[in-house]
Each structure stands twice: as structure tokens, then as C-alpha cells.
Amino acid sequence: MTKRERRIERLGLVAKPTGAPWHISHCQNPFPQVVAHDRCRIHFAGRDEKNRSRGAWVEVRLHREGIESIRYAPRPSLELGRLGAFDDAGAMPSCIIEFDGRLLLYYTGWTLGGTVPFHFHIGLATSADGGETFERLSEAPVLGRNRHDPFLTAAPWVLRENGALRMWYVSATGWVAPQHQQPEHYYTVKHATSVDGIAWETNDRLCLPYREGEHAVARPVVRRTESGYRMIFCARRHGERYRVYTAASADGIAWERDPEPLLDVAAAGWDSEMVGYASEVSLQNLHFLLYNGNAYGRDGFGAAALSAPV
């Protein structure tokens, strides 16, 4: 058991699929929106019987003993895109910010592929009811294919700084198709900037270069610290499933990884095969890690108590 692991106490599942027709399985990609002094809305993506994801949420209260679920979204917070749009096979919420007088939701939109299994790109929606539901600002992605990101973009995490915006997101560097096997993606984390939240400037630099054997570095969640930035992310090597890791940076561009996982798989149960898509929630001096377990959050999302922020 590492020093970091001793700071963490697993609390089990917090939220499970509701069983509604649009939420048969999964509570994938959980992240918080603070709505009161003791209450948060945890956003995530639920899936229907066709495995298509839609926006959803659960309101929770944070206690020293854990996290109490209060109520679930009665309908999708973000629906599928129209047939033929970049998000007609899935719309997965990724982060919420307040900017320029609006509440903005950045999300990953999915379409099914042909030569490769899927495509996804980054969309933007806004809310008129405090974050319970969202409407797209455009049926096109705000960060799709471009000369620096020719394959896919996904999993945006956005911070507001000095009147502008910074985004950390996932970008693919290629697909590999071994003989008689399904194509395998290679993607990791990159950085972009924007003055209006709609047009984004990208570049070729990788924030988290691949380590030996890695092919997927995913779901960056970034916060400011006194000395710079901290990132929570997940990564996996060939033949392995995701684990949750952290990294530190002075400028948000060059990052130093902690080599040991922040959270590894459990000995048994709903998070014994993989852990990933983690984020952090802190309220009233209580700190929790939200994360998904086996099969990308098929059973829901869970939490772990932290002795201090990551």
C-alpha cells in the first residue's frame, strides 16, 4: 500500500442506474456542480438499451460518513444529437463552467465508425435552469477534427483564467489495426485556449506523453493550486484496464506524473477490474474522489474519502 493509497478510504457505490428507458446502465464520467452550501449535483452519462449515452445527474449531500443521494434527474439533462450529427450515438457531459454570463456544459459527442469502431468530438451546451437541463449552442462540435487533432477529441476539462479559457482534453494520435484484430486507439491529453469558449486554439504538444506500453491516457480533471496545477487522469497499458493517476505542473502545459496510481483496483466487487474517469469534490472541508469501476461505470459511480485534496 502506497502513501497515497493510505489517504483514501473506499466508500462503495454512491449512485446506480435508475432503470428508466434512457438510463438502463452506467453512471459514467461523474463530476460535481455545487448547488448549495452542503449539496452538489453530480453529473454523469447514463446509457440506454442500445448503449447510447445521455446526460444525467444525481443530487447529493456530503457528510463525514460519506455521500447521500437525494434525487435523480427525471429526464435526460442532455439528449442525443439529431441523426447524422456528431453526437447522434451518445452525448457524455464532461465539465461545467460559468463564463460570460452563461452556464456552459462541455461534452463528448459520439458517432459510430466504419473503418474504426467510433468517432467522438467536443460539443457545447448551455443551461437556462441552473444546470438541470442543457441545450446545444450548435449541432456542430466546438472542437472537432483539425490539423493538430486529425482523429478525435474528447473529455474536455475547462478552467477560466484571466478572462479567457483553458481546456485540457483527449486527442488521438492514431489508430493501429493488428492483423485480424479490431483497430485500437492511441490517445492522450492535450491543451487548448479560447477567448470566447467557442473557437479554440490547439497545437501538437502532448501534456502527457505515452509511457511504455500505454495506448490510452484519458479524462483529465485539472485544478489550480498555490504552486501551479494538479491533474487527475486515468491510463492503461496494453492488456490492462484503467487505473487513476495524478500529475503536477507549474504552467498547465508541462506535467510531471506521479508514477504510482492514486487509486488501484479493489480486491473484489464493482471496481475490481478497472477504476477510472475520476474527479474530485470538496465542500465544507470534506473531500471525496468520484470514480467509475468495472466496464466504464456499468454499475454506477462510487466514491472514496480523501484526507486532503488531491
Per-residue pLDDT of 153-174, as tens digits, reads 999 999 999 999 999 999 999 9
Domain 3-306 has CATH 3.40.630.30: no
Q: Which pairs with CB-CB distance under 8 Å and at least 24 residues apart come from 262-270?
A: 262/4, 262/5, 262/8, 262/232, 262/289, 262/310, 263/5, 263/8, 263/289, 263/291, 263/304, 264/5, 265/241, 266/10, 266/293, 269/293, 270/13, 270/294, 270/299, 270/300, 270/302
**Every domain of the chain and the residues it spans:** 3-306
pLDDT at 7: 80
* CA 167/CA 215 separation, integer angstroms: 21
The alpha carbons of the chain give a radius of gyration, in whole angstroms, of 18
* CA 291/CA 134 separation, integer angstroms: 23
Residue showing cell 443530487: 59
Torsion angle in degrees (nearest 10) through CA of 77, 80, 86, 89: 120
Q: Going residue by residue through the chain (310 aa), what tens digit of pLDDT does each one get?
A: 344 444 899 999 999 999 999 999 999 999 999 998 889 999 999 999 999 999 999 999 998 888 999 999 999 999 999 999 999 999 999 999 999 999 999 999 999 999 999 999 999 999 999 999 999 999 999 999 999 999 999 999 999 999 999 999 999 999 998 877 889 999 999 999 999 999 999 999 999 999 999 999 999 999 999 999 999 999 999 889 999 999 999 999 999 999 999 999 999 999 999 999 999 999 988 999 999 999 999 999 999 999 899 9
Average pLDDT over the chain, rounded to an integer: 95
